[in-house]
């Protein structure tokens, strides 16, 4: 029944001092925030820390949230900015998100680098997740926002600070890259695609 | 719109993919959607590619999010225990400050405009210059440089504030 409570109502309760109500929002969005962050930094420990930072920032600046956009869109914007700041600090150089260079900065290590073993039994969904992790960070984030977090192209534009048409083109390119990755690494397991 | 749309179709695989993805994402117009529906129904290549992309799209849609650790929610709640909610930005940005800056610039523009108008030569005789400014009245010193710089900085602050407010309002 908790899911039925609207985000806006929960936010009002939190703003009125009911701090514990914020846990409903954390439970509702933690998987999506964690996945978005993980796609960008590709390290579970760092992703967990950054996802927590995202929620703490959202709590601190909750009074600034206006209901002109969905709470999830606002929350994912914070996650996106938190990751970009982290990647910039980590690399110690100034970059522009517009230049599409984030992909070069994120560590594409960990699970993504593990080639699928034929002897291992993997579900189709797990294989798709592995293929997504092989994408450049920005493309993986875009796919995650569109398909898992169910954000529209306009909302993704708001989150990433880019134009909707630009998002549309980038999503198309991301899917093309993903298809290539699947053909290269997972053609046997995902032959129906 | 439709005129530009048709020639792109079938020219190459990427164009076809782009049109089909727009169709799957419901990002094309009604006319474009109708045209693609017809192509899928009548053209074997379009039908095959559509089926493949739709399957790919369904697979992507069914991908599940990653799971953070079991303690994630508790960690966040522990972290915010000592955190206070910051007051909303709009409560501490005084709109009268912005209006004051706008007023100063408005006044400055009107003054300059009036001064230029007063220097105009309304004599329309051939060869007569229609614009004449008496530069001799102006000092040649550099007193105006800091004044101009301060004004430029104020102008930038004002434009930034206006753009931020507009962007926030749009969101």
Task: Tell me which chain A residue has its CA closest to the CA of residue B78.
Answer: A56
- Give residue A36's pLDDT: 94
pLDDT tens per residue across all 193 residues of chain A: 445 589 999 999 999 999 999 999 999 999 999 999 999 998 999 999 999 999 999 999 999 998 888 999 999 999 999 999 999 888 764 444 444 444 444 444 444 444 444 444 456 777 888 889 899 989 999 999 999 898 999 999 999 999 999 999 999 999 999 999 988 888 776 665 6
| Distance separating alpha carbons of residues A117 and A180, to the nearest angstrom | 19
Predicted pLDDT at A107: 43
Least CB–CB distance from A23: residue in B17, B77, B87: B77
Q: What was the pLDDT predicted at B10? A: 47
Residue B129, pLDDT score = 61
Find, among B76, B82, B78, the residue nearest to A51 by Cα. B76
On the CB side of A44, CA atoms within 13 Å amount to 8
Contact assessment for residue B119 and residue B70, using Cβ atoms and an 8 Å cutoff: no
Is residue A31 within 8 A of residue B67, CB to CB? The reply is yes
Tokens coding B141: 């010193």
**What do you get for the CA distance between the two ends of chain A, in Å?**
38
Q: How many CB atoms lie within 10 A of CB A82?
A: 22
- List of chain A residues whose C-beta atoms are within 8 Å of the C-beta of residue B62: 125
A164 touches chain B (CB under 8 A): no
C-alpha span between A23 and A4 (Å, rounded): 15
Which pLDDT score is estimated for A153? 93
Burial class (CB in 10 A: 0-12, 13-18, 19+), B123: exposed
Report the chain B residue with the minimal C-alpha distance to residue A53. Answer: B76
Contact B168 A176 (CB under 8 A): no
Residue A141 · residue A36 · CB < 8 Å:
yes
Share of chain B above pLDDT 70, in %: 77
Substitution target from A55, A68, A77, A152 for chain B, most B beta carbons within 10 A: A55
- The values of phi and psi at residue B120, to 5°, are -75, 140
* Residue B11 predicted with pLDDT over 60: no
Residue numbers of A between 9 and 28 with CB closer than 8 Å to B = 14-15, 19-20, 22-23, 26-27
What distance in Å separates the CA atoms of residue A4 and residue A2, rounded to the nearest whole number?
Answer: 5
Contacts with B, A 108-137, CB within 8 Å: 124-125, 128-129, 132
Report how far apart, in Å, the C-alpha atoms of A75 and of each of A18, A89, A160, A186, B170 are.
19, 21, 12, 33, 17
What is the structure's pLDDT at A104?
A: 44
Distance, in Å, from the CA atom of B112 to the CA atom of B109, rounded to the nearest integer, reads 5
Read off the pLDDT band of B78 (50, 70, 90). Answer: very high
Q: Is B124 exposed, middle or buried (0-12, 13-18, 19+ CB in 10 A)?
A: exposed
Q: Kindly list the residues from chain B whose CB atom is less than 8 angstroms away from the CB atom of residue A15.
A: 85
pLDDT confidence of residue A113:
42
pLDDT at residue B168 in the model = 67
Strand partners, B105: none
Give burial (CB, 10 Å; 0-12/13-18/19+) of B38: exposed
Beta bridge partners of B120: B131
Of B63, B65, B72, the CB nearest to A128: B63
Looking at residue B45, its pLDDT comes to 92
Measured in whole angstroms, the distance separating CA B93 from the mean position of its chain's CA atoms is 23
Whether A30 and B68 lie within 8 Å, measured CB to CB: yes
Interval B79-109: pLDDT, tens? 999 888 988 877 766 777 778 888 888 898 8
Domains in chain A: boundaries = 2-185
Tell me which fold the domain A2-185 belongs to. Rna Polymerase Sigma Factor; Chain: A (1.10.1740)
Which chain A residues contact residue B77 at CB under 8 A? 20, 22-23, 26
Phi-psi label, residue A123: left if phi above 0, alpha if psi -120 to 50, beta otherwise: beta
Which of A26, A38, A47 is nearest residue B73 as measured by Cβ atoms? Answer: A26
Neighbours of B81 (CB within 10 A): 7
DSSP state of A115: P
Determine the pLDDT at residue B127: 63
Task: Select the more confidently predicted residue: B50 or A127.
Answer: B50
Q: Using H for helix, E for strand and C for coil, what is the string for A33-92?
A: HHHHHHHHHCCHHHHHHHHHHHHHHHHHCHHHCCCCCCHHHHHHHHHHHHHHHHHHHHHC
Question: Which candidate in A11, A19, A36 is best for mutational testing of the B interface (most B CBs within 10 A)?
Answer: A19
């Amino acid at each position: 029944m908790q899911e039925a409570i609207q985000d806006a109502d929960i936010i009002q309760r939190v703003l009125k001092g009911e701090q514990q109500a914020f846990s409903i929002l954390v439970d509702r969005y933690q998987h999506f925030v964690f996945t978005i962050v993980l796609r960008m930094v590709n390290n579970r420990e760092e992703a967990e820390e950054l996802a927590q930072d995202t929620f703490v920032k959202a709590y601190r600046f909750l009074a600034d949230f206006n209901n002109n956009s969905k709470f999830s869109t606002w929350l994912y914007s914070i996650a996106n900015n938190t990751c970009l700041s982290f990647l910039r600090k980590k690399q110690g150089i100034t970059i522009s998100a517009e230049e599409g260079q984030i992909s070069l900065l994120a560590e594409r290590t960990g699970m993504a680098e593990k080639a699928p073993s034929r002897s291992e039994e993997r579900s189709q969904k797990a294989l798709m997740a592995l293929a997504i992790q092989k994408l450049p960070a920005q493309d993986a984030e875009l796919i995650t926002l569109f398909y898992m977090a169910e954000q529209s192209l306009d909302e993704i534009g708001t989150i990433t600070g880019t134009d909707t048409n630009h998002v549309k083109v980038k999503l198309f390119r991301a899917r093309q890259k993903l298809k290539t990755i699947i053909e290269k690494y997972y053609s046997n397991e995902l032959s129906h695609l | 719109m439709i005129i530009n749309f048709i020639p792109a179709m079938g020219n190459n695989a990427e164009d076809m993919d782009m049109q089909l993805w727009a169709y799957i994402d419901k990002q094309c117009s009604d006319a474009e959607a109708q045209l693609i529906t017809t192509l899928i129904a009548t053209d074997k290549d379009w039908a095959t590619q559509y089926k493949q992309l739709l399957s790919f799209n369904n697979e992507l849609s069914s991908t599940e999010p990653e799971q953070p650790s079991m303690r994630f929610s508790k960690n966040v709640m522990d972290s915010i225990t000592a955190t206070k909610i910051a007051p909303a930005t709009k409560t501490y940005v005084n709109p009268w400050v912005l209006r004051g800056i706008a007023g100063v610039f408005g006044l400055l523009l009107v003054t300059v405009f009036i001064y230029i108008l007063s220097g105009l030569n309304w004599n329309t005789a051939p060869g007569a210059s229609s614009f004449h400014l008496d530069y001799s009245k102006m000092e040649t010193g550099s007193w105006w440089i800091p004044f101009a710089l301060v004004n430029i900085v104020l102008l930038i602050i004002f434009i930034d504030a206006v753009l931020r407010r507009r962007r926030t309002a749009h969101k």
